[in-house]
Chains A and B, each alone.
Chain A
Amino acid sequence: MTDSVAAPEPVIEVRDLTVHFPVRKGFIGRTVGHVRAVDGVDLAIRPGETLGLVGESGCGKTTLGRSIARILKPTGGEVRYRGPDGTVTDLATLGERALKPFQRQIRVVFQDPFSSLNPRMTLLQIVGEPLRANGIASGSELEHRVAEMLERVGLSPKYMNRYPHAFSGGERQRVNIARALILGPRVVIADEPVSALDVSVRAQILNLLRDLQEELKLTYLFVSHDLSVVENICDRVAVMYLGKIVEVADTAELYSSPRHPYTEALLSAVPRPDPRLRGAGRRIRLADDLPDPANPPPGCYFHTRCPYAVPGVCDIDGHGPVLTGTGPQHDAACLRTSELDLVGVASEPA
């Protein structure tokens, strides 16, 4: 990585992280291969920032988020977490007991507000559960802290004894956020937090996340497939393809001058909410089929769909691109990046 000296020490530094899922076949469940969901990822999350993680479904972005939060145990590599006192711990290898104090500092907000809340628990039980499970508070103290947290996310504490079914999608997502924040975490992994919400409610939740970040000094990893939402809320963006990070840069830089063909293609595919922009800009259309992550193509993983791929350059086994600096704070993993003139999103006249 080409982090300049000015960049603060990252709160989380992922080094060469891999998560492989075995593919089993037959009666005895013999392992016949591995799906490389996360395949050698290096990524730094700086304190106080919102880092976007984008890519198509199946690219491994959710798996990466979950292994940073250690919901999943990575197959290899390091997840280096810098505590408030500056001590660095590798979370990737810790056992369950040693992990517990760190799991209070890294929390997750899940995507679907309808399936991620237990319908048989009241809001008090749902939001208070982490406090109880960690032996931090109980009884009236717990109730008090839950009330405070509900208020903070914009819900009235008088609803505390109701069940999730009585609430709309937006309100449930507020409950989800309250549950994630009740332990006072430093890092929040938000996995598609607004994808299931209505347009008019989505803006409310995005603004809430922004306010909470400011008040509570949070660091976000914002996992999403929606590039317009990511542009709105993220300071930096990492683009993921088939288990690898292919480009990382500041949001404005990445959107205006992408250095990886995949990023360019993603940006050009986003429908712009203005009929006058119809047909404007470069139209790049990728083939529908994502290669099988259990059997990735040789060389650059993207060459099978890349409009700029050159046979004999991009498809040589063992000579895939690595993430290298292409500009200040801008890394891309493309063998031809210096030869290409890629187009980003032009600014819209206000």
Chain B
Amino acid sequence: MPREDPLLEISDLRTHFFTREGTVRAVDGVSLTVPRGKTVCVVGESGCGKSVTARSVLGLVDEPGRIVSGEIWWRRRGQEPVNLAQLGPRSEEMRRVRGGEISMVFQEPMASLSPMYTIGDQLVEAIRMHLPLTQEQARERATDLLRRAGIPRAEERLDAYSFQLSGGMCQRVMIAIALAADPALLIADEPTTALDVTTQARIIDLLRDLQAETGMSVLFITHDLGVVAEIADEVVVMYLGTVVERGGVDEIFHDPKHPYTNALLGSIPRMGAGAGRRLATIRGNVPHPSDRPAGCPFHPRCDAAIGGVCDVSDPPHIVFGEARSVRCVLHDDVHRSSAAEVRA
């Protein structure tokens, strides 16, 4: 059965930063889809381009960066699809999409809220920007949103300032603001990274509940594989500006195809697996995006790299199914005979 058209489809997106020292290819040919009502996790280490990908969707790429090529198709039900990559960051249309149809929650909840305005002011502003409501109606909706985001004594909190709330509470406020206009897609960029485990668990529960309640899609960006395992339906693994592997959450964790995914899973401590065990490591460091290796970006750190192949030509894009693909020569039939088996 063919899948329904995805809500968001990014194809071959390239976002480069033109700095004085040279061009940084932060996002270099990323393709991914977000199906309706699903959670897609983008996972990767620092510098892999996961945040820039998310920001490109909303036209939030800072100078000197810009989208060089590629398409970002936004498909609302019953409406013509729009290519967000073509819209100006300040255009009327983009402003309607941003915050209205697609909203975003950032990593630092304290830094994302203004300390000069009350929580209520900021919520009401977001609501009235997108919905034709009076001040009173908007305030009512604001209280309701705070309550849905799990904030006790919501009415009183409307008059609080961000610095009077804990980090977890601020993140709940950010989520309430993001839900202000009932978005079809919520982009969450490391929303729990700055929080304690106990708070993180509750924010993840909240996002899961809100998604079940509203049917929205979630694009969740994180570096934490534990969080991915908790919340994802589908996973996109990125390394140095490219997608190296895509798959369902169970496939990624139990049948990883790319050596990087495999190595990443091997290098995280697993609770209950016995203490004191040495961890498998990935040699070397993540290179800076401005000095990316030729060929496959992972080849200098890859144990399965084939000299003369991986360091010369770009890895092939092998598609196994609708949402399952890998960029690695090891899964290419032409090279399979010469390649070592990577699965551990």
Contact = CB atoms under 8 A, between A and B. Distances in A.
B198 A206 contact: no
B278 A207 contact: yes
B314 interface: no
B202 A275 contact: no
B225 A200 contact: no
B226 A199 contact: no
A134 B202 CA distance: 49
Interface string A321-350: 000000000000000000000000111101
Given A227-B197, A232-B269, A199 B229 contact: no
A252 B253 CA distance: 25
Interface of B: 45-46, 166, 168-169, 196-202, 204-205, 223-230, 232, 249-250, 253-254, 263-265, 267-282, 285-286, 288, 301
A143 interface: no
B133 to A, nearest CB: 29
A215 interface: no
Interface of A: 56-57, 168-171, 198-204, 206-207, 210, 225-229, 231-235, 251-252, 255, 265-278, 285-286, 288-290, 345-348, 350
Contact of B198 (A251, A252, A286, A347): A286
B229 A277 contact: yes
A225 B282 contact: no
A227 B224 CA distance: 13
A275 B225 contact: no
A56 B227 CA distance: 18
B253 A273 contact: yes
B279 A271 contact: no
Nearest to B225: A273
A249 B133 CA distance: 57
A269 B227 CA distance: 11
Given A227-B271, A274-B253, 14 more contacts: A199-B264, A199-B267, A200-B267, A203-B268, A207-B278, A207-B281, A252-B275, A269-B197, A269-B198, A270-B271, A272-B230, A288-B166, A288-B168, A346-B272
Contact of A203 (B226, B279, B301): B279
Is the contact region of chain A dominated by helix, strand, or loop, or is it mixed?
helix
A271 B227 contact: yes
B92 to A, nearest CB: 39
A-B complex: 6 closest residue pairs judged by Cβ atoms: A271-B226, A232-B269, A203-B279, A288-B168, A269-B201, A200-B282
Listed residue (A56, A57, A231) with the most chain B CB atoms within 10 angstroms of its CB: A231
A204 B284 CA distance: 9
A308 to B, nearest CB: 16
15 contacts: A201-B286, A203-B282, A204-B281, A206-B279, A228-B271, A232-B279, A266-B197, A271-B227, A272-B229, A275-B249, A277-B229, A345-B271, A346-B272, A347-B272, A347-B274
B230 A271 contact: yes
Given A198-B286, A207-B281, A231 B229 contact: no
Contacts of A202: 267
Contacts of A278: 229-230
A200 B281 contact: yes
A228 B286 contact: no
B275 A231 contact: yes
B250 A275 contact: yes
B286 A269 contact: no
Contacts of B230: 271-272, 275, 278
A273 B197 contact: no
A271 B229 contact: yes
> Which one of A202, A275, A290, A346 has the greatest number of beta carbons of chain B within 10 Å?
A275
A210 B199 contact: no
Nearest to A251: B275
Contact of A198 (B204, B223, B227): B223
Q: Counting chain A CB atoms within 10 Å of each CB, which of B199, B232, B280 scores highest?
A: B199
A227 B268 CA distance: 12
Contacts of B263: 200
A348 B229 CA distance: 15
Contacts of A277: 229
B209 to A, nearest CB: 12
Nearest to B47: A198
Given A56-B196, A271-B204, A288-B168, A276 B223 contact: no
A56 B280 contact: no
Contacts of A206: 269, 279
A228 B199 contact: no
A272 B281 CA distance: 19
A226 B58 CA distance: 33
A275 B229 contact: yes
A230 B205 CA distance: 24
B264 A200 contact: yes
A189 to B, nearest CB: 20
A286 to B, nearest CB: 5
Contacts of A274: 229, 253, 270
Contacts of B281: 200, 203-204, 207
Contacts of A275: 229-230, 232, 249-250, 253
Contacts of A56: 196-199
A273 B270 contact: yes
A227 B197 CA distance: 9
A73 to B, nearest CB: 28
B201 A271 contact: yes
Contacts of B46: 169, 198
A60 to B, nearest CB: 14
